[in-house]
Structure 1
Amino acid sequence: MRLPRSGAGWTIAVFGLLALLLGALGLIWPETQLRLLGFEVPTERAPGDYTGTFLTASSMASFNMGVYYLLAVATEWRPFYRFTVWFRLVTFTVFTIAVLSDVAPDRFFGVAAWEGLGAVATAVGLWWDARRAAAGAAGSTRPDDSAAAPAPDAAR
């Protein structure tokens, strides 16, 4: 696996790695994952309580998403980076509404904040990368940058 080649790539790599690790945590130690999210962990579950099933599905989705993000970094798939900005903002909104409407505990707002801040960080990284690329392109058109070796035909 190669390291990210851009600022935006680093934000996607960090999110992907954490999604992968937290997904694995939820698969291996689901009670720990529930406690991190601020949910109660009863000693015994009632019949028909499918919390474990839902957590397994969510953890597997998180694990897979981490793999997708890391694959996007390995290929520097910039359209994917842009796509994640908008959908992470949607996720931030939905999770925030879940907390404000008492569907999720207050501590769950940390997940919403992570999504929102991650979206903003990636957006800033994309902007910074574009500025850097534009400055590099503008800098290479200066007359004093023409110190390249002559073409083989011109040397004859």
Structure 2
Amino acid sequence: MRLPRSGAGWTIAVFGALAVLLGALGLIWPEAQLRMLGFEVPAERAAGDYTGTFLTASSMASFNMGVYYLLAAATEWRVFYRFTVWFRLVTFTVFTITVLSDVAPARFFGVAAWEGLGAVATAVGLWWDARRAGAAGAAGERAVGSGPVPATDAVS
């Protein structure tokens, strides 16, 4: 697998790797995942308690999402990067409201914060990458006088 080639790509890769690892943890050791999130882990579950089923589904979704993020980072799929910024901010908002309305324990706010900070980090990475590309383009125009050489016309 290729390493990311941009600042934004690194933020996506880190999030993807952690999503894969945490998804695997939830599949292999669900009790640890629940404790990390601040949920109680009773010795025995009551009939009709589908916490394990929901955790398996969430963990598998996290694992798969992590793979998608790693693929996006490996291919520098910048449209995906921009898309994630907005939807991670939505996730931050929903998770924060969940904590504030006492639907989830306070420790669950860590998940909201991770999403929000990740969205901001990726947005800053996208801005930084664009600024760096603009500066490189301007330097190429000054040096050559006719603008940067298109990638398809560059000599290998």
- The two structures have a TM-score, normalised by structure 2, of 0.92
CA deviation vs aligned residue, 1:41-97 (integer Å, no higher than 9, x gap): 000000000000000000000000000000001110000000000000000000000
The AA in structure 1 aligned to 2:31 is E
Q: Which amino acid in 2 is paired with 1:67?
A: V
Is 1:23 equivalent to 2:23 in the alignment? yes
RMSD value, Cα: 1.1
**Residues paired across the two proteins, number:** 146
C-alpha displacement of 1:143 = 3.9
Give, in angstroms, the shift of residue 142 of structure 1.
1.2
Give distance in 2, aligned partners of 1:13 and 1:70. Answer: 5
Off by >6 Å, runs of 4+ in structure 1: none
1:145 to partner: Cα distance? 7.7
1:1-156 to 2 correspondence within 5 Å?
A: 1-143=1-143
Distance (whole Å) between structure 1 residues aligned to residue 145 and residue 128 of structure 2:
24
What is the percent sequence identity of the aligned residues?
A: 87
CA distance in 2, matches of 1:19, 1:106: 21
Q: SS in structure 2 opposite 1:140? A: helix
Note the residue ranges of structure 1 that are not aligned, 5 or more in a row: 147-156
**Partner SS for 1:133:** helix
Q: Select the structure of larger CA radius of gyration.
A: 1
TM (normalized to structure 1)? Answer: 0.92
Alignment gaps of 5+ in structure 2: 147-156
